[in-house]
Amino acid sequence: MAETHTQSTTTGIPQDTQAPQGTLTPQDTQNATSDQRHQVGQPHSHGSGDNAVPHQRFFTPAVVTLIALSFMLGLSEFIMVGILPQIARGLSISEVTVGNLVSLFAVAYAPATPIGSALSARFPRFATHMTLVAVFLVGNILCMGAPNYPILLIARMMIALVAGTTVAVSMTYAPDVSSAANRTRFIAWVFSGFSIASVVGVPVGTWVAGTFGWRAAFALIVVLTVALMLAMVLVLPRNSHPMTIGFLPQFRLFADRRIRLGVLAVLFGAAASYVFYTYLTPIMRDEIGIPQRFVSLGLMVFGAACLCSNLYSGRLANRGTGVAPLARIRPIYLMQAVLLCLLAFAKLLPVAGALLLIVLGLFMYLQNSASQVLYMDVAAQAHPGSMNLAASLNSMSFNIGIALGSAVGGVVNDEFGLTWLGPFGAVFALLAALTVSGLHPTRAELGA
């Protein structure tokens, strides 16, 4: 695909603030840069030379397809939580060893996401997106046929290396498939694809694994991914907005204190939840006393709470711009810390413990949209050449938190037992609250 770029010698704009693809006049370049600063502005045209027309309907085929892609990524990532015991028995290894796959997945995911996103900014978007999903497909095929733990580990690492960049590229479609008014709604729904995977996909996958074997769960993912790739070919726009900024200069984004605090807040917030979430099935079974045949139902209820959490996060993100939405999450982190401490008493009052798990699910993703707004607004304002990288930071930060929380959860489970997972998670929630205390929104960001 032939691509042209606006040159800095023509526009007078520094190299790292180049506008998207196309030969533009100086006024056009100014307008394009303004759109980047608002991240999700008026949609770009889906074909060359066409005028952009705002989308009045939110759930267009393209938006639904991008949500479905998040669903598939979430299903592949979270399915381990539901089928952990079956894999352990099938490969004759311990549940803790299988649980480590969650941590290792996140360890690979975290560095690969910003690197892949920075690289993807320089290539045609649609072709890059399809390539990433193809690698995801191959990884799940390997999971389906893995004869031993090392092969399963390699397959999971393949998936981890492309998953975060795939989400980041999905975010860049926002101005092409939705209107400026739907910015936080689009962000919330793309992230909610992961929660929908928890609500529907993980319980169904757990049932499939229990009925037909754990390999059948990955076979289901493979079939659905092939169908999704066909949908992507049919409905996603082919236009592309490559950046002319170099690879390394994009990482100047991390020099911004607001970005660093946002990354740490999401990291600690994710770790707080994943200390216990990694072992959610054993907690339901051994602490709450839910019979094995009802664990799938329990996972579905927990997933429904997570979906509500993700969707409500979009409303929280509407409370201002820049750092303001995430700064206002501080009381939520403090409440989460209290609830996690109470999880230690779940075995004493199983009914109350079950309700507590649902409430913790409601808290699990409340930070997501607010943090994404911080990354995108700060990047658009001060580092417009790093927009693709900024789009990846939520996934990167969250998965570092997953790795940290899962690793700590494994140690706590081995040394102290399931009962102490909640209190250790509370420590991370307090660290998240402390971190966002360092964010100081301006009056304009607060909407004052």
Cα–Cα distance measured from residue 194 to residue 202, given in angstroms and rounded to the nearest whole number: 10
CA angle 321, 67, 425 (to 5 degrees): 65
Distance CA(432)–CA(343), nearest Å, equals 19
- pLDDT above 70 covers a percentage of the chain that reads 86
Backbone angles phi, psi at 190, to 5 degrees: -65, -45
Cα separation, 194 vs 70, in Å, equals 6
- For residue 343 the two structure tokens come to 């999880």
Q: How many CB atoms lie within 10 A of CB 293?
A: 8
Which amino acid appears at position 49 of this protein? G
Segment 7-35 shows an average pLDDT of: 37
pLDDT level of residue 52 (50, 70, 90 thresholds): very low
Q: What is the pLDDT of residue 267?
A: 96
Q: How far is CA 263 from CA 84, 252, 266, 320, in A?
A: 29, 14, 5, 19
Tell me the range of 6-10, 43-47, 158-162, 192-196 where mean pLDDT is highest. Answer: 158-162
> What is the spatial distance between Cα 34 and Cα 180, in angstroms, rounded to a whole number?
12
Say how far apart CA 357 and CA 339 lie, in whole Å: 9
- Over residues 143-166, mean pLDDT: 94
Task: Give the confidence band of 283 by pLDDT, cuts at 50, 70, 90.
Answer: very high
Of 26-30, 308-312, 397-401, least confident by mean pLDDT is 26-30
Q: What is the pTM of this model?
A: 0.75
Read off the amino acid at residue 321.
T
CB 42 within 8 A of CB 175: yes
pLDDT above 60 (res 322): yes
Which pLDDT band holds residue 46 (cuts at 50, 70, 90)? very low
Contact 254, 392 (CB under 8 A): no
Q: Which amino acid is at 352?
A: A
Which CA distances in Å does 17 have to 21, 35, 111? 12, 12, 24
- Nearest-angstrom CA–CA distance, 193 and 228: 13
- Mapped onto helix, strand or coil, the DSSP state of residue 56 is coil
Which carries the bigger pLDDT value, residue 302 or residue 337? 337
Rounded CA-CA distance 162/139 in Å is 10
